[in-house]
Chain A
Amino acid sequence: MKALRAELTKLTSLPGVWIAVAIGLVLPAGVTVLNASNSRSVPSADTGFRELAIGVVAAIVIGVVAISSEYLAEGEESGGSRQITTSLTAVPSRSRFLLAKTAAVAGTVGLLALISSAITLTATDLTSADVSIGTSDLPRVLGIAAYWIFSALLAAGITLVTRSGIIPLSVLIVNISVVSVSFLLTKVTRLAYYFPDLAGTHLFLRDSDGPVDLTPVAGGLVMGLWVAVIAGIGAAAFVRRDA
């Protein structure tokens, strides 16, 4: 429990995390309002949820920064030391450290996803006359939370291997953009529909436009499997490598 509290303190004192929280709360709701006032966007069963899928950028940033901040060299004045040295002195068991880190990231991102969903879906309900959000959408909100948590853990797993945040941040954020790399790859092979970011959207989207239509549970399982493999590689690297 103490390790978890320590991880939460570290996480909530990072400026990058607060930037991410601001993006996660403002971006999906802002896009919803912008879409509602635009005549060209057609309301569908996924209005509000597609926008929340973009907000996953916040989860990615939190996942990356939680790990990369541990490895950032402080500069010559403080002997070029890194926070990970202090962290592992305080919590020498690497698996316990990782467990606390995972719980802190998943808890923070899950809470953020729920709050952001509440704001965005309320905005959807108020601004789009043709779409109404009710209690029947609750499972999809849990789907959003699962999607955000999975994405954060995926990002953290990659960062455990690279240690620098630059590569995972660039690759993962670029991949949420309108012309994502995964989407381009679906033109080459249908297998790309099983990439974590595309398979995971079945957790909460109902109007699937691709040829591969997964149920929410199957989509979640495919994405969860990706997360388990990649985070597993990251954890194995973390446990074995010198800090």
Chain B
Amino acid sequence: MNLLRAELLKLATLPAIRFTVIGTWAVTVLLSAAAPDVSTALYGPLLAGFLILGLIAATSEYQGGQIRTTLVAAPRRVTTYVAKVGALVVITLPAAAVTVALGTIVSGESEAKAAGYFAFTTVIAHAVGSLTRRTLPALVGLLAYYFIVGPLLQPRVPFAKYLLDSPDWFVALPWTAVATSLGLLAFRSRDA
């Protein structure tokens, strides 16, 4: 419980996390007003906010060696990693819920399932961040996949609906589980 509280405190005191969440909400209001329907807004550019959220949560530990302090305080790697993902989910779920609610208020249509899509994507971005440990290369990869390669594959290849950018929860859940397991394994075995 202490671990989860510590991770939550670290996330909540990162200015970048706050800016990302508030910025995402502001863009939600603008886009929901401009887009023809609410799913174009929600399943479009907004995802970038959640990718950054998950990514920064992971990579901020590695800028300036905070990870060593973390591991001195909490040497058990597996529980630490689980606490990290748990804290991220605790922050992400309300952020995603507010995003969807804002979209509903501005456009008048409701697309509640998008909140789950945001949460899954955030956790996948966190796993990618803890694998690469570097913000910009991971960000380039994630944005290029989710915004360029993914949408291009979608109408062109038959297996595209099983890829990790699928908004279907039953597809996103296993991808999230695989990504988190890879992140956990790497975090457990690699030097900090």
Interface residues of A (CB under 8 A from B): 15-16, 19-20, 23, 27, 31, 34-35, 38, 40, 54, 57, 61, 64-65, 68, 73, 75-77, 80, 165-166, 169-170, 173-179, 181, 184-185, 187-188
A64 to chain B, nearest CB (A): 8
Please list 17 pairs of residues, one from A and one from B, whose beta carbons are closer than 8 Å in the complex, sorted by A's number.
Answer: A16-B136, A19-B137, A31-B152, A34-B153, A34-B157, A38-B156, A64-B136, A65-B136, A73-B64, A75-B65, A166-B136, A169-B136, A173-B144, A175-B45, A176-B148, A184-B31, A187-B36
Residue contact B64 to A173, C-beta cutoff 8 Å: no
Bound together, the chains give a CA A161 to CA B16 distance in angstroms of 17
Bound together, the chains give a CA A15 to CA B31 distance in angstroms of 34
B122 to chain A, nearest CB (A): 14
A58 to chain B, nearest CB (A): 9
Which residues from A are CB-within-8-Å of B36? 187
B143 contacts A by Cβ under 8 Å: yes
How many chain-B residues does the 8 Å CB contact rule pick out?
Answer: 32
Q: What would 14 more interface pairs be, CB under 8 Å, given A16-B140, A34-B153, A68-B136?
A: A16-B136, A27-B144, A27-B148, A65-B136, A75-B64, A76-B65, A77-B65, A166-B135, A166-B136, A169-B136, A173-B147, A177-B148, A181-B31, A184-B31
Interface residues of B (CB under 8 A from A): 16, 31, 34-36, 40, 44-45, 48, 51-52, 56, 63-65, 135-137, 139-141, 143-144, 147-149, 151-153, 155-157
Residue contact B45 to A177, C-beta cutoff 8 Å: yes
A77 to chain B, nearest CB (A): 7
Given contacts A35-B156, A177-B45, contact A170 B64 (CB under 8 A): no
Which residues from B are CB-within-8-Å of A35? 156
Given contacts A31-B152, A54-B148, A187-B36, contact A177 B44 (CB under 8 A): yes
Residue contact B34 to A173, C-beta cutoff 8 Å: no
Bound together, the chains give a CA A19 to CA B155 distance in angstroms of 26
4 A-B pairs with least C-beta separation: A177-B147, A173-B143, A178-B151, A174-B45
Given contacts A169-B143, A184-B34, A188-B34, contact A178 B136 (CB under 8 A): no
Total number of residue pairs linking A and B with CB closer than 8 Å:
91
Which residues from A are CB-within-8-Å of B45? 174-175, 177, 179, 181
Which residues from A are CB-within-8-Å of B155? 40
Given contacts A68-B136, A173-B143, contact A75 B63 (CB under 8 A): yes
Residue contact B48 to A174, C-beta cutoff 8 Å: yes
A223 to chain B, nearest CB (A): 20
Bound together, the chains give a CA A64 to CA B135 distance in angstroms of 13
Which residues from B are CB-within-8-Å of A61? 140
Bound together, the chains give a CA A65 to CA B135 distance in angstroms of 12
Which residues from B are CB-within-8-Å of A73? 63-64
